[in-house]
Amino acid sequence: AGGDSFYEYLLKVWLQGGKEETKYRRAYDRAMKGIMDKLIHISRPNYLTYVAELKYGKIIHKMDHLACFLGGNLALGAYTHPEGLESSEAQRQLKTGKQLAYTCYQMYSRFDSGLSPEYVDFRNGKNDFEKGRDAPYYLLRPEVSETMFILYHLTKDPVYREWGWEIFQAIEEQTKTDSAYAAIKDVDTMEKEDRMESFFMAETLKYLYLLQNDNHTIDLLNTHVFNTEAHPLKILSLVT
């Protein structure tokens, strides 16, 4: 999860450059194939798709909130695949992206607070996963909101709006203070911290707003690329 921006930019550098520097797209597709072949796993009993970690040759069955960016990134890669959206590899990327988005939504909805911990452990028990024992906190992170926005933008499936709205309502109910929005120490106890990360306004709220509002000029397939800090940048050929 800590290297998420690298994989994101392999795709987005290729897109912003007008799809001319093919070495970045090839590297991206190779990396996504490696992730899907080696790190994608299915939980029990409810068959949730998750991306595990590989550490010193050992699979760690945990999924960080940070890794939830991958759902949207895979979908964007599928819709811009050089062989077309209907190609087998693009369809595999899109299917995996949608499945990861659903798992990330479950990371929120399965907790009474409606908020996700920093990561979850997959133990194939009766509940598929449990909150990370040493990271039960919620930092107002943007990755799930980003994935919901991208998938809705590309597919127009209203379920992503519904999931995003549920997440926004939980944020509004559980983290709002008199002056701002607070990080949460534990998604079960809901004790607030006296801090708000800057990415909450710059990214999380921006994606949640765009998810619910069609009245904007962002077009991820033709005119814009979001950098990893959620700044919309134009395709280079459109920059005057």
Active site residues per annotation: 118
Inter-residue contact 12 to 69 (CB < 8 Å): no
List, as one string, the DSSP characters of 47-84.
--EEE-EEETTEEE-EEEGGGGHHHHHHHHHHHT-TT-
Q: Which of 216, 170, 49, 161 is nearest to 226 (CA)?
A: 216
| Single-letter residue type at 31 | A
> Max CA-CA distance within the chain?
56
Where helices occur in the chain by DSSP H, the ranges are 4-16, 22-38, 69-79, 88-109, 143-155, 159-175, 199, 205-212
